[in-house]
Amino acid sequence: MTTVVAQGTFDLLHPGHLHYLREARSMGNELHVILARRSNVTHKEPPILPDTQRREMVDALDPVTEAHLGHESDIFVPIERIDPDVIVLGHDQHHDDDAIRRALADRGIDCEVVRATPHETDDEVLSTGRIIDRICKQRCG
């Protein structure tokens, strides 16, 4: 059995999220998704939705075996618990692939780290920030 981990914020689910999770699931038999806690999101605006609500929504998606909230201070704690064969990073996530590989090796976690492909689209809104901008433009102005 091949266990895959995907991770992210998953605020305001959209087709780009679903593409990422479907692709990650295609790489194994089980897909575990780790959701960043609001308190740990520092590289962009914090999520609009509460941690538990985002976890519940992702957990309900067909490709997902189980969704987990990330650890409060150490992002590798749930990865150690899940012990994946593959970690799939989103195509546009800010992570340094090589730094993650080194951190995994330092912790004795033997798994592959790969990048998902972008979702090919014409006109869809595929980022939470763009969805929020569109809502504000159409409803708040």
pLDDT digits (tens, 9 = 90+) for 78-137: 999 999 999 999 877 778 889 999 999 999 999 999 999 888 776 666 678 888 888 888
pTM of the complete model beyond 0.95: no
71 in a known ligand binding site = no
CATH number at residue 124: 3.40.50.620
15 in a known ligand binding site = yes
Cβ neighbours around 25 below 10 Å, total: 20
Distances (CA, A) of 3 to 22, 111, 131: 14, 10, 31
CA distance 137 to 66: 35
pLDDT bin (cut points 50, 70, 90) of residue 67 is: very high
9 in a known ligand binding site = yes
Contact 83, 58 (CB under 8 A): no
Our count of domains for the chain comes to 1
CA distance 141 to 139: 6
10 in a known ligand binding site = yes
pLDDT digits (tens, 9 = 90+) for 6-47: 999 999 898 889 999 999 999 999 999 999 998 888 777 888
CA distance 82 to 126: 29
Identify the domain containing residue 50 by its residue range.
3-139
129 in a known ligand binding site = no
92 in a known ligand binding site = yes
